[in-house]
Amino acid sequence: MLPEKIIIIAVMVSFVGDFIYLRSMYLGHAKPNLVSWFIWMLAPFLGVYFQLKAGAGFSVFPVFAAGFCPLLVIIYSLILKNGYWKITLFDLVCGILALLALVLYVFTHSLEISILFVILSDGLAAIPTIVKSWKFPETENAYLYLLGIFNNIIGLLIIKEWSFSIYSLGIYFIVINSIISFTILHKKFFKKEVFS
């Protein structure tokens, strides 16, 4: 277990990732899917609430950062003209299902089930961005997602008491950020241009 103060590094790295993504939006490269980013803002904030109820400490900061960045991206994308990806019916269906999963947690009295609904909601919200990144990888920036993997690994390494309610979101964010990073970078991997 690492000392809790190391979370400051994860938070600073998170802000660097936010800046890189916002800069990519400004340059016209990254065009976020607002359906994904709205749920990505909402689900982590709910997750932080549940983790704090479960007794988590500083390990919640990477999950909080996972919600704070989407808040910045949403605000900035609405300020920029053409700063976001066109929303399709598929995006809306995924968004409605994600919101439904968040609403369902209200009817559960189990912290673990509530966190599962947060993960389900966030995962459903990721589908439009995964599809967009696979087809049009140039409309995303992998740095933010790669740094998200790093942040959540740090968050897991400082956990004092391991319980599903505390570690599950960190593991989920590592997995989903890995998937999105791969969809953005897959063409470079196949062309062997990753390190060039």
Report pLDDT for 179. 97
Averages of pLDDT over each 10 residues, the chain, 196 residues: 74 86 90 86 79 74 80 89 76 80 71 82 88 92 90 85 83 95 86 48
Furthest CA-CA distance within the chain: 51
Report pLDDT for 95. 78
169-183: per-residue pLDDT in tens? 889 999 999 999 999
Residue 158: count other Cβ atoms within 10 Å of its Cβ: 19
**Cβ-contact 122, 94 below 8 angstroms:** no
139-156: per-residue pLDDT in tens? 999 998 999 899 889 888
**Cβ-contact 98, 125 below 8 angstroms:** yes
Report pLDDT for 134. 94
Report pLDDT for 167. 86
Which residues, 6 or more positions from 158, have their beta carbon under 8 angstroms from its beta carbon?
Answer: 1, 2, 3, 4, 6, 7, 57, 58, 59
Report pLDDT for 77. 87
